Amino acid sequence: MNTKEDPVAETSRHLEHTEKTRLLSTSRSVDRGLRIGHPKAASKARKLLVMLSCVMQLFICNGIGYGLSVMYAELVVVLDAKRADAALVQSLNMGLSAGAGILFAGFIKKYGPGICIVVASVTSSIGLFVSCFANGIGLIICFTGVLTGLAMCVCYFASFVTISLLFYKDPGFYLISMTCGTSLGQFIIPLFFEIFISQYAWSGAFILLSGLCLNCLQFGLIIHFSRDFFYKGNVQNNKSLRASAFCDVSLLTDYLIWILWSNCFLLALTANVEAWFIVDHAVSIGLTRESGSLMVSAVGLGNLIGRIIGSAIRLKCTKTPTVYHWIYLCVLTAAIHLFVPNVGEVFPLILACLATGIAMGTTAAQAPAIMFEASGLDRYPQGMAMVNVMYGIGEMLGPLLGGMVKDLLGTYDLIFYIASGVSAYMSVSTIVAAYSIRRRVLWTLPIKRFGIGLCMLWELYWDV
């Protein structure tokens, strides 16, 4: 009796898994023979320690970049700097820390993520420390914006590499959980900025922040001394992966992928306008800087809540394409952007910032799954790498353009209205993307099944 499973059914289920797989499910890839040997088995305590080390990398790196919105309002006043120039500090720092990691991927692979984090933490600390001696905004742009931003991108990117190497059998859950460090940093570190500036002025705050960055060093050492437990793949296969990592022409000719990349760019460009400008906006309408700092922290808290909600939505709505959720989330975000410039009291603005953080966190948490559903298993690494690049470019340009609008018009109202319009456009373009993904699932899969069926019939004919 032939107990072998029907190849057509088996292939069909594989195709369905490819179209609607769970986020970053890489266990099958590992099981297909990519390994040349199992690494040492890590204990639960070591896994937890490495996990916490990676969470702290995101906590510090993203938190400092996010908290620069508090420093932005202070530098405008103390150094009498143009808002466009002061915004360049944060835009460069956040943009480079998010999107420049691809430049250092070779170093991380060659020397290991732990050593790279150690070097990067010292470099980022130097950049912040030198900024305290600045007499103008230019030195701060160079050292905090560029040097510290480039160093932080190494810590940020190496954390994802570390998790994928240690939890190589199924890293998806751990990668999602690790991103909570970003939201925690965005919630807590802006409060540190406010305390440091209030007690030690802006120059003393840079010194204390440089010490905070050095905490990445000890966690980098923990990661480095756990390297024996990291997954090492087949050397020949890794060479082929490196050769094709950024050369998939089909991505560049796929209009659906470009729609999603554009939406990711627009999300990074406009979704954070409250976080970037709410402190200076609060001061400009007669509120205190302290209340503005609370609003920034409210965005960070909402971001954490939103990421948890986004993960829950992804786990519960497994049969619904993830991109569908962006349609109503973008409409909700557009409504919140419209609300902010039309209120002038502290408590409503704090609630608006909390709602903004929830909407943004929920939206951003689903981006990796959306890209997977659009690109498929084979093209996912390249597609997600470009998503990070789009995020970096958007976060670099957003504060700069917003500061220029404020310098020209003297108010931030137009920025919030533009952000609302962009969110509405993203909802419409997401409908187009959702239709395209649905058409691929409904038409591509039956066509592939039909082709496989013909091949099976041909083989049966020759067997007879």
Q: What 3-state class would DSSP assign to 35?
A: strand
| Whole-number pLDDT of residue 385 | 67
Other beta carbons less than 10 A from residue 412's beta carbon: 25
Higher-scoring residue by pLDDT: 81, 201 = 201
| Whole-number pLDDT of residue 436 | 76
| Whole-number pLDDT of residue 52 | 93
| Residue ranges of domains in the chain, CATH in brackets | 44-232 (1.20.1250.20), 247-464 (1.20.1250.20)
Mean pLDDT of 288-305: 83
Q: What are phi and psi of 392, to 5 degrees?
A: -65, -45
Of 259, 255, 269, 257, the residue nearest 421 (C-alpha): 269
CA distance 422 to 270: 7
Q: What is the DSSP string of 387-421?
A: HHHHHHHHHHHHHHHHHHHHHHHS-SHHHHHHHHH
Which amino acid makes up residue 395? E
Higher-scoring residue by pLDDT: 322, 353 = 353
CA distance 388 to 42: 30
CA distance 439 to 18: 15
Sign of CA pseudo-dihedral 206, 207, 210, 215: negative
| Whole-number pLDDT of residue 384 | 67
Q: Return the percentage of the chain with pLDDT > 70, whole number.
A: 77
Residue 228 has pLDDT above 60, yes or no: yes
Burial profile 268-285: b = 16 or more Cβ within 10 angstroms, e = fewer: bbbbbbbbbbbbbbbbee
Note whether 388 and 371 are within 8 A (CB).
no
CA distance 70 to 64: 10
| Whole-number pLDDT of residue 421 | 93
Secondary structure of 289-332 as H, E, C letters: HHHHHHHHHHHHHHHHHHHHHHHHHHHHCCCCCCCHHHHHHHHH
| Whole-number pLDDT of residue 110 | 81
Q: What is the DSSP string of 417-441?
A: HHHHHHHHHHHHHHHHHHHHHHHII
Q: Is 21 left (phi over 0), alpha (psi -120 to 50) or beta?
A: beta
Which amino acid makes up residue 401? L
Question: What is the chain's mean pLDDT, rounded?
Answer: 77
Which amino acid makes up residue 367? A
Note whether 165 and 45 are within 8 A (CB).
no
Residue 153 has pLDDT above 60, yes or no: yes
| Whole-number pLDDT of residue 239 | 45
| Whole-number pLDDT of residue 290 | 80
Residue 216 has pLDDT above 50, yes or no: yes
The winner for highest mean pLDDT among 80-84, 177-181, 195-199, 440-444 is 195-199
Total residue length of the chain: 464
